[in-house]
Structure 1
Amino acid sequence: MLKQIVNQAKNKKFTQLKYILAAIALTTPLYGACENSISDIIPIEQVVKDISYLASDELKGRANFSPERAQAAAYIAERFAEIGLAPMQTKQKQLTQKPHIALFLQHFNVHKIQPQHISVSLNHSAIGHENITMATTLAELSWQTEQAQSHVIGKDDDMRKVLQQLNQQGGQHVVLVNSAHRKTFQLYKNYFDAGLTKLAITQPGAIVLVLSDESQLSHYQVKAQAKISQQSLSNVVGILPGHDAQLANEVVLYSAHYDHLGTTADGRKIYNGADDNASGTTAILNLAQYFAQQGNNQRTLMFSAFSAEEIGGFGSRYFSQQLNPDNVVAMINIEMIGKVSKFGPGTVWMTGIERSNLAQLLNDALPENLANNGLAIQADPYPEQKLFYRSDNATLARLGVPAHSFSSTQLDKDPHYHQVSDDLSSINMSSMHQVIELLAIATQPLVDGSLTPSRIDKSKVRLQGKIY
């Protein structure tokens, strides 16, 4: 089945390919005049081919749990095999032939939790369903007064902060929310009523929210049920073992998520996710090809395409449990590089720049001819968006890894983010290609072992919630 999927991908006719390449031919490559040019190793034709397939209508938006998500995974696995990477569980020197692409798939299960019924009585009065919601990892709730902790969020309280604290605490909670927070309550209700996804249910708990101006809770009764089921997903992971005996146990991780949003509810329009994140997935494929052809990596390089980022980052969470994070020197997580950044074509910014010295070291290592052109790793220009926590780097950062996301998107003015218009026509292919080249040059000292960034202080990274 996997081989059939890959053959379909190889035989796919990309109607826009010729047009895109013709347009790129009219531009001047950013590094074309530099002695550090690597365009012959990272050919633009392969970059265009990869993103064109991953963002094609054939993959229908690469939704989690869809056949098309598996189809995308098979394409990535075949590329890893062709490049010469080894599956994560197999050392390259043990391979006598090209590994089967199924070996690159890292399977894991997630739990889908769907609320079925909930009723709440406060002080002997029934509450309307429109004023109740819950986040739960329990299949059944049957609470009487004092069987759960009770809380009141007053009109002047920070609702999000209170719920964040309860989520990190875990356990069982009934929360009265003052009607002054009605809009925020509705956002939580929409989110919770749609159901939750969890990688594992290790600490059962629940938070029941009730929109009410009651300030005293002398009596309550909660009855609820939820359906819990398991579904399978997979990451795609390949490695390029290090050549230095002492450095080979140190890992440089290049990653991107390959899942997206699928289609609209009626199935008529596709969220192709060209920028988010076919662009990042294309980057790790071509960086893998570049470093494999270089053949001089002293550290072990690992390339991971994560699934389930769009539904909570469960692919990276599972991945982080399959290796010793202390061995990961740095994580270069590539997220949305298909648009020109506010700093100019071919430039990128990095989330959490203050949390390690990675950006400083990468910039110090850049060749003078690039640095003079302003091609430095920039700080995240959108700190209010809290992007450090919104991609797969956060999971590894919580474990102390210098894990950061690299992006070029202008989030404050991008009309295509999570829209059906995020397709190939919105991508600046030349700038994206230049970003991939810049990352290859900037991270070379990580690869050859001459640069080791400081670790992230785990105590200063916000913990993951235990309930939602």
Structure 2
Amino acid sequence: MKKLIQLICCLLISVPVFSQKSGIEQAYVDRIIKTLSADDMQGRKSFEPGADKAADFIEEEFKKIGLKPLDGLTGYKQTFNVYRVKPGETTVQVNGQTVTSDKVFVITGQPQIQWQQSSDANVILVRAEDSFSQIASDLMKARKNTLLLIDETHQKIFNQYRNYFSKGNISLEQAGDGSLVFAMFPPVENPSFQVKASNVVETLKLSNVVGMIPGKDKKEEMVIFSAHYDHIGILKPVNGDSIANGADDDASGTTAVLALASYFKKQKNKGRTLIFVAFTAEEVGGYGSQYFSKQLNPDKVVAMFNMEMIGKPSKFGPNTAWVTGYEKTDFGKILQQNLQGTQFTFHPDPYPEQNLFYRSDNATLARLGVPAHSISSDQIDIDKLYHSVDDEYESLDIANMTQIIKAIAQSARSIISGKDTPTRVNASELK
């Protein structure tokens, strides 16, 4: 009897999590991710040929699947402009003293700045006891002409901001009012000042890749399946390898979008409209999802499944994944309810200190109230391959990844049909 019980247990453990007839095949998953993470994609960096090549490949796959273009588009590419400002020469004088160039940086969309009196710009004093990051964040939202005089105790965080913004800042909109000039100079009341800056403004094109399956009974309501296809491109060589292939980040998520699109296209969709989108420019500021969010009514989006790094088993073991912002809606609970009877489980994000809910494209839609969550399996606290040249196809567990995609398909059933509607995100509570 004991041997019989052991045999039964072994047989149960060996049963696949999902039926082999689920319609999501490992061979398909393997082909897509191997292509997206290949060296000839050159790391899929935004504004570079590798990203364009990846977008072309995704577009061709959407055509093969038979998705419809998004309303208002004639094809699958949702192309838009962004504006990159590269800083040129900047001169700042305060009370007759010239601030050295290593103690100045500018955030602007303007080709030129020329201030010489208080009527041209506000002056904000950032003293030792103030929060540099909070003041900077508030001013970047307000975007009024402002000169900041910053106490040297903020040197470390000042340098971090300067290193980032000195590379040039990108905006979805053409230059509007409002430039910020940061100068590390003793915060003095009522200073006299002169500011001169010249910048180069470039107009650049980016493209999301978007397709849809129209619904029937609730076709005005949308369910989004998304991932970002861009990565970080070419890095300093490590052991002769300089290509950051981004296999897990986020060719894995993009592969899931394609596999799910192929799967759901074969089903009879009598519920809500399904949108499949591969976002551009997540790695450089989330501009793809920002533009996409402006092209639809967020009140009509009932859920967003954003797949972010699902290429390896999670800390909870095989056949598991986790959901960012699990506590913000009942999205995760609905997913798990739809997985009853399987061995697969979804868990709350185990890395709350990493703020992962805010670090992917779901955050843009969540700030509009959409139940928008990222699904992941990455062990981000110990992942040494993240943003490196070693994030390659060979590091992935394709079988486990396929099970995650199957789980997403099954867990979405009641949301797609219209039976379940996740609660909305309280946007006022978000950072």
Q: TM-score range by the shorter chain?
A: over 0.9
Structure 2 counterpart SS, 1:377: strand
1:40 Cα offset (Å): 4.6
> Structure 1 residues 187, 291: closer, same or farther in 2, change over 3 A?
same
Q: What is the CA–CA distance in structure 2 between the aligned matches of 1:250 and 1:31, rounded to whole Å?
A: 39
1:49 to 31, 51, 55: 31
Aligned to 2:257: 284
Q: What is the CA–CA distance in structure 2 between the aligned matches of 1:67 and 1:29, rounded to whole Å?
A: 49
With 314-323 and 261-270 compared, the bigger mean Cα shift is at 261-270
Aligned to 2:418: 449
> Structure 1 residues 304, 192: closer, same or farther in 2, change over 3 A?
same
1:145 Cα offset (Å): 3.0
Question: Do the aligned partners of 1:38 and 1:437 also contact (CA within 8 Å) in 2?
Answer: no
Aligned to 1:110: 82
1:39 Cα offset (Å): 5.4
- CA RMSD, aligned part only? 2.2
Q: What is the CA–CA distance in structure 2 between the aligned matches of 1:124 and 1:359, rounded to whole Å?
A: 60
> Structure 1 residues 292, 29: closer, same or farther in 2, change over 3 A?
farther
Q: Note the alpha carbon deviations across 1:149-207, whole angstroms, 9 max, x for none.
A: 21122223221111111111221111122212211111101111000111113643111
1:89 to 59, 66, 71: 71
Q: Note the alpha carbon deviations across 1:382-425, whole angstroms, 9 max, x for none.
A: 22222222111111112211111111111111101111111112
Question: Do the aligned partners of 2:242 and 2:389 also contact (CA within 8 Å) in 1?
Answer: yes
Q: What is the CA–CA distance in structure 1 between the aligned matches of 2:352 and 2:175, rounded to whole Å?
A: 32
Aligned to 2:102: 130
> Structure 1 residues 342, 255: closer, same or farther in 2, change over 3 A?
same
1:260 to 222, 228, 231: 231
Aligned to 2:340: 367
Instruction: Kindly provide the amino acid, as one letter, of the partner of residue 171 in structure 1.
Output: K
Q: What is the CA–CA distance in structure 2 between the aligned matches of 1:217 and 1:210, rounded to whole Å?
A: 15
Aligned to 1:386: 355
Aligned to 1:412: 381
Q: Note the alpha carbon deviations across 1:235-266, whole angstroms, 9 max, x for none.
A: 1101011132xx11111100000011111268
1:34 Cα offset (Å): 5.4
With 113-122 and 209-218 compared, the bigger mean Cα shift is at 209-218
Question: Do the aligned partners of 2:110 and 2:176 also contact (CA within 8 Å) in 1?
Answer: no
2:156 to 171, 175, 183: 183
Structure 2 counterpart SS, 1:272: coil
Structure 1 residue 119 corresponds to structure 2 residue 91: yes
1:368 Cα offset (Å): 3.1
Question: Do the aligned partners of 2:109 and 2:175 also contact (CA within 8 Å) in 1?
Answer: no
Instruction: Kindly provide the amino acid, as one letter, of the partner of residue 131 in structure 1.
Output: K
> Structure 1 residues 29, 130: closer, same or farther in 2, change over 3 A?
farther
Question: Do the aligned partners of 2:248 and 2:391 also contact (CA within 8 Å) in 1?
Answer: yes
Question: Do the aligned partners of 2:307 and 2:375 also contact (CA within 8 Å) in 1?
Answer: yes
Aligned to 1:33: 15
1:238 to 208, 211, 222: 211
The unaligned stretches of length 5 or more in structure 2 are: 1-9
1:30 Cα offset (Å): 11
Q: What is the CA–CA distance in structure 2 between the aligned matches of 1:291 and 1:369, rounded to whole Å?
A: 20
Structure 1 residue 79 corresponds to structure 2 residue 50: no
Aligned to 2:306: 333
Structure 2 counterpart SS, 1:103: coil
Aligned to 2:4: none
Question: Do the aligned partners of 1:291 and 1:297 also contact (CA within 8 Å) in 2?
Answer: no
Q: What is the CA–CA distance in structure 2 between the aligned matches of 1:319 and 1:340, rounded to whole Å?
A: 30
Q: TM-score, normalised by structure 2?
A: 0.92
> Structure 1 residues 396, 30: closer, same or farther in 2, change over 3 A?
farther
Q: TM-score, normalised by structure 1?
A: 0.85
With 69-78 and 289-298 compared, the bigger mean Cα shift is at 289-298
Identity %: 42
1:31 Cα offset (Å): 9.4
Q: What is the CA–CA distance in structure 2 between the aligned matches of 1:233 and 1:47, rounded to whole Å?
A: 26
Instruction: Kindly provide the amino acid, as one letter, of the partner of residue 294 in structure 1.
Output: Q
Instruction: Kindly provide the amino acid, as one letter, of the partner of residue 161 in structure 2.
Output: Y
Instruction: Kindly provide the amino acid, as one letter, of the partner of residue 263 in structure 1.
Output: I
Instruction: Kindly provide the amino acid, as one letter, of the partner of residue 104 in structure 1.
Output: Y
> Structure 1 residues 35, 186: closer, same or farther in 2, change over 3 A?
closer
Structure 1 residue 248 corresponds to structure 2 residue 219: yes
Structure 1 residue 63 corresponds to structure 2 residue 36: no
Q: What is the CA–CA distance in structure 1 between the aligned matches of 2:375 and 2:16, rounded to whole Å?
A: 23
1:36 Cα offset (Å): 4.5
Question: Do the aligned partners of 1:34 and 1:369 also contact (CA within 8 Å) in 2?
Answer: no
Aligned to 2:5: none
Instruction: Kindly provide the amino acid, as one letter, of the partner of residue 220 in structure 2.
Output: N
1:145 to 117, 123, 138: 117
Q: What is the CA–CA distance in structure 2 between the aligned matches of 1:217 and 1:30, rounded to whole Å?
A: 77
1:217 Cα offset (Å): 4.7
Question: Do the aligned partners of 2:302 and 2:422 also contact (CA within 8 Å) in 1?
Answer: yes
1:38 Cα offset (Å): 5.0
Structure 1 counterpart SS, 2:219: coil
Structure 1 residue 349 corresponds to structure 2 residue 298: no
Q: What is the CA–CA distance in structure 2 between the aligned matches of 1:88 and 1:431, rounded to whole Å?
A: 31
With 38-47 and 75-84 compared, the bigger mean Cα shift is at 38-47
Aligned to 1:460: 429
- Once the two structures are superposed, the pairs formed by residues 140-219 of structure 1 within 5 Å of their partners are 140-146=112-118, 147-201=120-174, 203-219=176-192
Structure 1 counterpart SS, 2:43: coil
Instruction: Kindly provide the amino acid, as one letter, of the partner of residue 108 in structure 2.
Output: T
Q: What is the CA–CA distance in structure 2 between the aligned matches of 1:181 and 1:213, rounded to whole Å?
A: 11
Q: What is the CA–CA distance in structure 1 between the aligned matches of 2:153 and 2:17, rounded to whole Å?
A: 62
1:124 Cα offset (Å): 1.0
1:445 Cα offset (Å): 1.0
> Structure 1 residues 134, 31: closer, same or farther in 2, change over 3 A?
farther
Aligned residues: 419
1:346 Cα offset (Å): 2.6
Structure 2 counterpart SS, 1:421: coil
Structure 2 counterpart SS, 1:264: strand
Q: What is the CA–CA distance in structure 2 between the aligned matches of 1:213 and 1:137, rounded to whole Å?
A: 27
Q: What is the CA–CA distance in structure 1 between the aligned matches of 2:16 and 2:40, rounded to whole Å?
A: 38
Instruction: Kindly provide the amino acid, as one letter, of the partner of residue 106 in structure 2.
Output: M
> Structure 1 residues 338, 39: closer, same or farther in 2, change over 3 A?
farther
Question: Do the aligned partners of 2:105 and 2:181 also contact (CA within 8 Å) in 1?
Answer: yes
> Structure 1 residues 32, 58: closer, same or farther in 2, change over 3 A?
farther
> Structure 1 residues 38, 240: closer, same or farther in 2, change over 3 A?
farther
1:214 Cα offset (Å): 3.7
Question: Do the aligned partners of 1:30 and 1:434 also contact (CA within 8 Å) in 2?
Answer: no
Structure 1 residue 423 corresponds to structure 2 residue 392: yes
